[in-house]
Amino acid sequence: MFTTTGSRGLYKAPLCKGLLLVLNGLTVMLTLLPQYQDMFVYSLQAVAHQHQVWRLLCGRLICLDVKDSFCSSLLIYNFRIFERRFGTRKFASFLLGTWFLSSLVDFLLAQAFQFLFEHEVEELPAGLLAPVFSLFVPFYQSIPRMPVTQVLGHIHITNKTLVYIVGLQLLTSSPFMWLLALSGLISGGLYHSNALWLQKVFFVPVWVSSVGKYILEPLFSSSQPNDETPLGMGATLDIQRQQRMDLLDQQLLLAQYNEARRNVRRQPQVGGLLQWTRLFPSLRHRGQNRPPVQPHPEAQTHQSTQPPLLENSPVAEEQVARLVEMGFSRIDALEALRASNNDINMATNFLLQH
């Protein structure tokens, strides 16, 4: 939606789809039935003094503010890329772990605020807010920044800018939303780094994942979208022309990439390089990280004995490691970096779309 992590809707993201439908549906119902909203208020005072532990479950799942529900839904929709890449079970384990951790951190931060400023925090905004904020941790560390445009010639707009703007909007929607945001970032950092082996403590069991796969996944699964969707009817001619050019350039680029992978498996490539700069003039200045390759006349005379393979082309090991940390296999990461002329942003787009 906001980033270049694909535009396939909620395909292969049944958990995100279920959260969007169920939680937003309950928010609308509570808006229409305000007499039941008191049951879903996230009251720290009621939990601590009246021992109403059930408020931790009710108050930390459903948003009572429609604006908070809308902003958190936009963020969940954008963060669906993690469910696609790491799988539904691992994504659910992350949400479960950060939910439990943030519930503890909420009380610690509230007590620290009361100790420092002598002001008791009685209520916090309701909803699945802290786990949503925790997803900013893998979003910041795993999704690379890709420049989109510039404002006033100095302010760079990237593929992640609008996501941070939505997060900032959610952060400023309530007086104590900052406490939930800080709690979510702390819990997300702890769980993502596997501090104290938290990933082995808070996780979704295999049998629960199997039950959800056979019962819940058919209800919230989405069919594979058609990549050949028509352009918007309301777009201007210039926008339509630019969209067609971008679509054609993407199709040619992906076709060349797939052809390179097939040729590597069948037979070695002569010279070991793909002539991207000749086929795509718009990509000529993207290979600055790649050292220039000088022609070797001796290699032309001995091509039949020792043909250079595509595997010999230089690839930055740091970029390979970054792609592997995102969940891709090392072989796919190497092929994508070679095909994209060592451009990690283009290689990421290749791997996310396959």
Q: What is the pLDDT of residues 125-143, one digit of tens each?
A: 999 999 999 999 999 998 8
Q: In this predicted model, what pLDDT tens digit does every residue of 183-237 receive, in sequence order? A: 999 999 999 999 999 999 999 999 999 999 898 888 998 887 665 444 444 445 5
Mean pLDDT, the chain, rounded, equals 80
Q: Among 42-51, 101-110, 270-279, whose mean pLDDT is lowest?
A: 270-279
CB neighbour class for 327 (10 Å; exposed up to 12, middle 13-18, buried from 19): middle
Residues β-bridged to residue 155:
151
- Where is the domain boundary, 201, 221, 241? 221
Of 344, 338, 347, the C-alpha closest to 272 is 338
The residue from 221, 254, 273 where one domain ends is 221
* pLDDT at residue 259 greater than cutoff 50: yes
Q: Could you tell me if residue 66 is left (phi over 0), alpha (psi between -120 and 50 degrees) or otherwise beta?
A: alpha
Give dist(CA 2, CA 163) in Å, integer: 7
Distance separating alpha carbons of residues 262 and 310, to the nearest angstrom: 12
User: Among 206, 221, 236, where does a domain finish?
Assistant: 221
Residues whose CB falls within 8 Å of the CB of residue 351, separated by 6 or more in sequence, listed in order = 323, 326, 328, 332, 333, 336
H/E segment holding residue 126: none
Q: What distances in angstroms separate CA 265 from CA 45, 260, 272, 323, one per listed residue?
A: 64, 9, 13, 22
Extended beta strands in 141-293, E state: 147-151, 155-158
Is residue 110 included in any domain, yes or no? yes
Q: Which residues contact 205 (CB under 8 A, 6 or more apart)?
A: none
* pLDDT value, residue 26: 96
Higher pLDDT, residue 141 or 278: 141
Asked, for residue 268, whether it belongs to a domain, the answer is no
**Structural domain count of the chain:** 2
pLDDT-derived band at 246 (thresholds 50, 70, 90) equals low
Are 42 and 151 found together in one domain?
yes
Q: Are residues 188 and 325 in the same domain?
A: no
Quick check: is 260 in a domain? Answer: no
CATH classification at residue 323: 1.10.8.10
- pLDDT reading at 8 higher than 70: no
In this structure, the answer to whether residues 332 and 206 fall within a common structural domain is: no
Q: Are 129 and 177 in contact (CB under 8 A)?
A: yes
30 and 168 assigned to the same domain: yes
Specify if 103 maps to a domain: yes
Please indicate, yes or no, whether residues 318 and 189 belong to a single structural domain of this protein.
Answer: no
Residue 34 lies in a domain: yes
Chain length of the chain: 354
Q: What is the pTM of this model?
A: 0.67
* 125 within some domain: yes
Q: Encoding tokens for residue 110?
A: 């509230």
- What was the pLDDT predicted at 110? 95
Q: Is residue 191 part of a domain?
A: yes
Instruction: Residue 210: give the domain boundaries.
Output: 14-221
Task: State the chain's maximal CA–CA distance in angstroms.
Answer: 86
The separation between CA 99 and the C-alpha centre of its own chain, rounded to angstroms, equals 18
Asked if residue 244 has pLDDT above 70, the reply is no
* 292 assigned to some structural domain: no
- List the CATH number of the domain containing 172: 1.20.1540
